A and B are shown apart, each in its own frame.
Chain A
């Protein structure tokens, strides 16, 4: 009976994974985040937008367990979460710094498997599968310095997927990439999130990207960072780069978000 309930909860998409309860983050005397609340459910894709300096990155680091809240709590699967966990993967914005330059693509993915204690014999097969999942088949022996920005970010995503995480935290992961690469990676990411039923928390300053990817958009306002509004995105799935972006609902949300963000532009 209990098992059935669990499956039902997963199916209805209301199984809570991460919850932030009135959390504040301070650096010295400065309050960066002030009384933030948010619940992330299993399989959900949540984007965070907000003007620069509103605390988006800090919010992500709070969820990652990289910073501790001065007030309030962060709950991961119901338990207080104070240090990073392998079940929460982080895709950093600066992929070039987040990869090990002395390891090739295989070696970089392997790091996550080694950390999780996966036996050596199992690693090679899983690494190959992960690299082909992110479109890096054939680049197994390439070093990060021999890869384009898009490939490096794909590699970092592959390493995060190797953690088999419940939650995927991403900080403006496609911000430095060209438009074509970005759209391609957006679609690949949506596919990966759908297939692995992982919860995605995605920071971006690109409003259209936020609408395209999200089930829900959290808008932060600055000084101090607070959740200002939450937008539900009810666009049908799977999304399509052309038709989704032409839907009236997409355009309506786009207008609403632009109006919101404009208030903070000088």
Chain B
């Protein structure tokens, strides 16, 4: 019911938008009517090239996310478990973290050139830090008694990480993954709009440059739908796997 009520406003805006375009008889290079947008989206969904672009964005973003999440988790666990290492690295992390990921685009472009690797690198850079910070905090907040249990049982460092640390931080690790996935999609699209000639971002730019507003909005809606579906799916999964995170889920 609440979901339906929530939909009322966007639907009403679309109807108003449609009415305004029809009543004013407007011809525009920047604005399209909703019916034209949905027609364009319907057409696009039958084109293999559209799906190839979608695949490119998801693949580059996904690989970057995997890399960033892996690096972030690894260093987060390391920094959290060995406080001296965490202290030494803190300044470096705090200097790099506020840097907008897209700001390293020029450097990454020189190193990698156009293509997948450019996008993977920037997405990895942008997702690594939030995951690192969340993981390190989660590791530090593990019940100290459990660390003593690990010591009392003389667990090896590897066994301690596998049997105590990772299971203890798993719910919060998943929250970090969900947040990083959202960030990753934003960065992937941004890189494609700014420079990289692949994926949905590049398709968006082409539609804009060739003055095809209906195609442009159709792609925009599609990107929004992907982002929404991604978050929805991961949130469901998180609540199903870790019911205790319900409070902190949103």
Contacts and interface: CB of A to CB of B under 8 A. Distances in A.
B152 A100 contact: no
A97 B145 contact: yes
A13 to B, nearest CB: 26
Cβ-closest 3 pairs across A and B = A115-B153, A97-B145, A84-B152
Contact of B145 (A89, A98, A115): A98
B145 A112 contact: no
Nearest to B154: A86
A114 B154 CA distance: 11
A: contact size bracket: 20 to 34
A102 B154 contact: no
Contacts, number: 48
Interface in B69-122: none
Contact of A115 (B155, B167, B168): B155
A77 B69 CA distance: 47
A147 interface: no
Given A66-B148, A111-B163, A114-B163, A97 B155 contact: no
B220 interface: no
Given A85-B154, A115-B154, A115-B155, A98 B163 contact: no
B236 interface: no
A112 B153 contact: yes
A61 to B, nearest CB: 9
Given A100-B164, A100-B167, A90 B146 contact: no
Contacts of B164: 100
Contacts of B154: 83-86, 115
Interface in A51-66: 64, 66
Given A114-B163, A115-B159, A98 B153 contact: no
28 contacts: A64-B152, A66-B151, A83-B151, A83-B154, A84-B153, A84-B154, A85-B154, A86-B154, A88-B152, A89-B152, A90-B152, A92-B149, A94-B145, A97-B143, A97-B145, A97-B146, A98-B148, A100-B167, A103-B167, A111-B149, A111-B153, A114-B159, A115-B153, A115-B154, A115-B155, A115-B159, A116-B153, A163-B153
A84 B159 contact: no
B145 A92 contact: yes
What is the predominant secondary structure among interface residues of chain B facing chain A?
helix
Interface in B153-204: 153-155, 159, 163-164, 167-168, 170
Main secondary structure of the interface of A (DSSP, over half): loop
Nearest to A160: B152
Could you say which of B148, B153, B163 has the most chain A C-beta atoms within 10 Å of its C-beta?
Answer: B153
Nearest to B168: A102
Interface of B: 143, 145-146, 148-149, 151-155, 159, 163-164, 167-168, 170
Contacts of A89: 152
Contacts of A66: 148, 151-152
A64 B151 CA distance: 10
A66 B170 CA distance: 27
A236 to B, nearest CB: 34
A84 B145 contact: no
A102 B165 CA distance: 12
B151 A100 contact: no
B148 to A, nearest CB: 6
B143 A86 contact: no
A157 to B, nearest CB: 13
B149 to A, nearest CB: 6
Contact of A98 (B146, B155, B159, B170): B146
Nearest to A108: B149
A5 to B, nearest CB: 31
Contacts of B167: 100, 102-103
A88 B153 CA distance: 9
A117 B143 CA distance: 25
Interface string A102-127: 11000000011011100000000000
Given A66-B148, A112-B153, 10 more contacts: A64-B152, A84-B153, A84-B154, A86-B152, A86-B154, A90-B152, A92-B145, A98-B146, A100-B164, A116-B153
Contacts of B153: 84, 86, 111-112, 115-116, 163
